[in-house]
Amino acid sequence: MDTHALITGAVGGLGKAFAAECAWRGWNLFLTDLQENALATLTGGLKRQFNVNISFYPCDLTAPRSRVELWQEIQRLNLHFHMLINVAGIEYEGDFIRRSLDELHTILRLNIENTVEMTHRILQFRDPQQTLYILNVSSLACFFPMPMKAVYAASKRFLLDFSLALREELRNENVSVTVLCPGAVPTNPRTIRRLNAQGLFGQLSLMNAGDVAAIAIERTLQGKRIIVPGIFNQMLQRIALLLPPTVLAAFIGRRWRRARKEQ
Ligand SMILES: NC(=O)c1ccc[n+]([C@@H]2O[C@H](COP(=O)([O-])OP(=O)(O)OC[C@H]3O[C@@H](n4cnc5c(N)ncnc54)[C@H](OP(=O)(O)O)[C@@H]3O)[C@@H](O)[C@H]2O)c1
């Protein structure tokens, strides 16, 4: 059976890096993202470089109907998977009160609802001969209650807890669930602007997408539970585990207010 890796958010900064890393390993791919043209361009580029089969299907992963159509296509193509990489995710930062309800719903639908559905559905389409690896892309933000990114950080916390719990539940089913918690990855202009605004912390936390993807795939295959790439980011994770959440939230809130005054 020809098995595939399924990558969501495949034409984003991290998604592309994951697609290249998987193709380099000789894995067949099924890619999804919003824009059909961008998926076609990425697929063409990867096929020229690597000798693998790649299919794609554009999908608005916040829309239940669109997700149903995606899985109908997967069924039509009779694909089976040994890996799911849930990369697609979104962040709108700034005062909670100033965020539109549309923005807040999009975070919840893409980061939480979509990841849960993709994870549930892939279990029906796994390659029964192989371990199924599920890699959920959370964020270093999942270890902190974060004023100005409250919904985003909490959605990534959901992914952390969800991944750890599911990992235990599916242990005897030959399914390995891993959660990736990257710090700062300069992927697109919006993210780069945000990272610059975070000053020294943003710079120290920085890692390029290719390195993050390579580390993440390697450790996922080793069956790791949580991956935090980068020594500075691992230090921040340890601090977060030591301090009470109330202290962390107050500290982060003060930093944001100060950064805003300086802008
Ligand atoms: N970059 C970082 O510093 C960082 C740090 C920690 C965690 N992460 C996480 O890593 C993941 C990837 O981040 P990234 O920086 O690579 O972001 P990105 O470049 O914005 O990639 C995300 C991709 O998801 C797509 N997408 C957005 N809404 C979608 C929808 N409704 N349906 C289907 N696809 C949709 C985007 O398409 P469009 O571009 O067309 O909207 C984009 O191609 C996210 O989960 C993010 O939270 C990133």
Please provide the size of the chain in residues. Answer: 263
Measured between alpha carbons, how far is 166 from 35 in angstroms, rounded to an integer?
A: 31
Please tell me the CATH superfamily of domain 3-262, with its number: NAD(P)-binding Rossmann-like Domain (3.40.50.720)
Best residue among 7, 14, 143 to mutate for probing ligand 1, ranked by most atoms within 8 Å of CB? 14
Q: Are 137 and 86 in contact (CB under 8 A)?
A: yes
Distance in Å, CA 87 to ligand 1 centroid: 7
Instruction: Summarize pLDDT for 156-183 with one digit per residue, the tens.
Output: 999 999 999 999 999 999 999 999 999 9
Answer whether 14 contacts ligand 1 (Cβ < 6 A).
Answer: yes
In a 3-state reduction of DSSP, which class is residue 121? helix
The number of the ligand 1 atom at minimal distance from the alpha carbon of 180 is 7
Instruction: Summarize pLDDT for 57-71 with one digit per residue, the tens.
Output: 999 999 999 999 999
What are the two backbone dihedrals, phi and then psi, of residue 71, each rounded to the nearest 5 degrees? Answer: -75, -25
pLDDT(1) > 70: no
Answer whether 58 contacts ligand 1 (Cβ < 6 A).
Answer: no
Q: Are 92 and 108 in contact (CB under 8 A)?
A: no
Answer whether 60 contacts ligand 1 (Cβ < 6 A).
Answer: yes
Q: Are 16 and 39 in contact (CB under 8 A)?
A: no
In a 3-state reduction of DSSP, which class is residue 56? strand
Answer whether 20 contacts ligand 1 (Cβ < 6 A).
Answer: no
The number of the ligand 1 atom at minimal distance from the alpha carbon of 195 is 3
Q: What is the pLDDT of residue 263?
A: 63
Q: Tell me the chain's radius of gyration from C-alpha atoms.
A: 18
Q: What is the pLDDT of residue 190?
A: 85
HEC secondary structure over 172-233: HHCEEEEEECCCECCCCHHHHHHHHHCHHHHHHCECCHHHHHHHHHHHHHCCCCEECCCHHH
The number of the ligand 1 atom at minimal distance from the alpha carbon of 106 is 31
Helix (H) or strand (E) holding 32: strand 28-32
Instruction: Summarize pLDDT for 61-116 with one digit per residue, the tens.
Output: 999 999 999 999 999 999 999 999 999 999 998 999 999 999 999 999 999 999 99
Helix (H) or strand (E) holding 174: none
Q: What is the pLDDT of residue 32?
A: 98
Distance in Å, CA 129 to ligand 1 centroid: 31
Amino acid at residue number 259? A
Answer whether 29 contacts ligand 1 (Cβ < 6 A).
Answer: no
Residue 186 has which token pair? 């300069």
Instruction: Summarize pLDDT for 128-140 with one digit per residue, the tens.
Output: 999 999 999 999 9
Reported pTM: 0.97
Best residue among 31, 90, 93, 227 to mutate for probing ligand 1, ranked by most atoms within 8 Å of CB? 90
Average pLDDT (225-253) is 96
Best residue among 43, 181, 185, 198 to mutate for probing ligand 1, ranked by most atoms within 8 Å of CB? 185
Q: What is the pLDDT of residue 22?
A: 98
